[in-house]
Amino acid sequence: MTRVKAPSKGEAASPTLKTLRFVLGDQVSHEISSLSGLDAQRDVVLMVEVADETTYVGHHKQKIAFIFSAMRHFAAELTATGVTVDYVKIDDAGNAGSFTGELQRAVVRHAPDRVVVTEPGEWRVWEMMRVWSSELGLPVTIEDDDRYFCSRGRFARWAEDRKSYRMEFFYREMRRETGLLMRGDEPEGDRWNFDTENRKRLPATVHEPNRRRFEPDAMTREVLDLVAIRFSHHFGDLDGFGWAVTRADALEALEHFIRACLPLYGDYQDAMKADEPFLFHAVVSPYLNAGLLTAREICVAAERAYQRGEAGLNAVEGFIRQILGWREYIRGIYWLRMPGYADTNVLGASRPLPWFYWSGETDLNCIANAVGDTRRNAYAHHIQRLMVTGNFALLAGIEPRQVEEWYLAVYADAYEWAELPNVHGMALFADGGLLASKPYIASGAYIDRMSDYCGPCRYDPKIKSGPNACPFNALYWNFLIENQNQLGKNARLAMPYRTLAQMRPERRDEIVREAGAFLAGLSSQPIEPSAIPVQATLDV
């Protein structure tokens, strides 16, 4: 429950001040630092639904519905404990449409002595926050977001004087610091990483368990009706909305994952299957990133499953690494490198985003599946994001900014601190290798090995040239040819570059010609606008 009246940072020095506590949509946690020391008799909690946050990218309908509903449920929980919550709905008269505008109006309404807020998840909002104090003429305290294992300052210290920021070393420090999966100073099982035992092909007979979905209550139904009308032109389906919107339900979803999915999580972590969009993934990232679950409780629940013998170390270590290692690491990189990080484009990628990222209408069956899953669920798992839509965007030289906007819009878990390094660095190599030691590129053979997408596809991953050849094949070699100056010396690409060097010149010419013809045929516009139900791009 909310940390009512717990003495905290700075609070003891100002016990009689009336404080306006501003809670953002991805901070719906009773443990959030901006609520620390809250005095229910005196303070006011401010929460606002604002147009700017819904349209700075054209978010998926389910993402908006999830955030609004989680915010409204959280406000109701606070109110039920006697806290005064000033909740501004998107359709309320006079809604200023922005965080700054709504904060200004709330200051007029409540005349607080000061404002307390927790640092945001996006640079854009951080820039707004930094001038609130001077704009409002009031003290504004920006608290650290202590939901993370590693603070921004702690990560900066880790990164100091390092030439390379490889995640693996950061992860080991986090394991030692938290004691997760440790036996004294040694890693459980005497290894830090068990990936050699993971990432198997999915047998046709193995199916995903039924996922725990949550029937919308009256409050969520009201939000769904609002979103259906006000955001009708946004990407994505609303039907079948089954996200948890309270902490209690999110805990149930977590418990279901640990019990029914975690044991096979490692084995099939990289597998993809048509019409089984979740496989054995946790699907708790929207809850974690919005504040309904904490990173620590998720890791502890997974560790406990290992200790009880309910899940193997390969699965549990692989899963904990995603949260304790990768998630903390990319957040650290984001804050270390912003704002310049978003501007790099070392491969000079400049093509517009193909329209099929929005419509899903393409004869590339793997893309059609990944986009279809995304439209239905506001979710696709890691390997669909990295090795299908990300891989294609990298091979096709799509401009990073357009790809990033797409990922930020379409996934229910996407906030820029998480999305940008994953897409810009990991998927697109636009940072030149700060995050990834090589570009994550793959031809049709990889997608064929890891999925059942290729069987029904009109292309064949085994055919290298001609009209039936999988386009990923020519694009793969064409990418290596086009970027040889940048990538030719990358040790991890030595093998494909050796193969390329041995290729006959006529074959290279054929690759460049076929890839060029395919890329020239990509359209960033709907082919038949009337047939496309949604205009899904920016509506600002």
Contacting residues toward ligand SF4, per CB under 6 A: 364-366, 444, 447-448, 453-454, 457, 459, 461, 470-472
Structure token pair of residue 526:
């709907």
Q: How far is the CB of 155 from ligand DLZ (least distance, A)?
A: 17
Structure token pair of residue 78:
């606070």
Pick one of ligand SF4, ligand DLZ, none as the site partner of residue 59 (Cβ within 5 to 8 A by kind): ligand DLZ
Structure token pair of residue 117:
């807020």
* 51 φ/ψ angles, rounded to the nearest 5 degrees: -60, -40
Pick one of ligand SF4, ligand DLZ, none as the site partner of residue 67 (Cβ within 5 to 8 A by kind): ligand DLZ
Helix/strand/coil for 348: coil
Candidate ranges 59-67, 293-301, 306-314, 494-502; the one touching ligand DLZ (CB under 6 A): 59-67
Half-sphere exposure of 99 (CA within 13 A, CB side): 20
What are the CA-CA distances from residue 228 to residues 232, 234, 401, 504, 529 (Å)? 5, 9, 28, 56, 21
Q: What is the distance between the alpha carbons of residues 357 and 367, in angstroms, rounded to a whole number?
A: 8
Q: Among residues 24 and 279, whose Cβ is nearest to ligand DLZ?
A: 24
Pick one of ligand SF4, ligand DLZ, none as the site partner of residue 355 (Cβ within 5 to 8 A by kind): none
Which residues, in sequence order, are CB contacts of 75 under 8 Å at separation 6+?
Answer: 45, 47, 85, 87
Closest residue to bound ligand DLZ by CB: 25
Burial class (CB in 10 A: 0-12, 13-18, 19+), 517: exposed
Q: Among residues 54 and 473, whose Cβ is nearest to ligand DLZ?
A: 54
Per-residue interface string for the shown chain with ligand DLZ, residues 63-102, x marking contact by CB under 6 A: -x--x-----------------------------------
Q: What is the distance between the alpha carbons of residues 16 and 19, in angstroms, rounded to a whole number?
A: 9
Is the separation of the CB atoms in 337 and 419 below 8 Å?
Answer: no
Is the separation of the CB atoms in 425 and 434 below 8 Å?
Answer: yes
Per-residue interface string for the shown chain with ligand DLZ, residues 99-138, x marking contact by CB under 6 A: ---------------------xxx--x-------------
Parallel/antiparallel/unpaired status of strands 186-187 and 182-183: antiparallel
Pick one of ligand DLZ, ligand SF4, none as the site partner of residue 349 (Cβ within 5 to 8 A by kind): none
Q: How far is the CB of 144 from ligand DLZ (least distance, A)?
A: 14
**Is 277 a binder of ligand DLZ (CB under 6 A)?**
no
Q: In the set 4, 20, 24, 245, which binds ligand DLZ (CB under 6 A)?
A: 24
**Is 48 a binder of ligand DLZ (CB under 6 A)?**
yes
What residues make contact with ligand DLZ under the rule CB under 6 A?
24-26, 48-50, 53-54, 59, 64, 67, 120-122, 125, 415
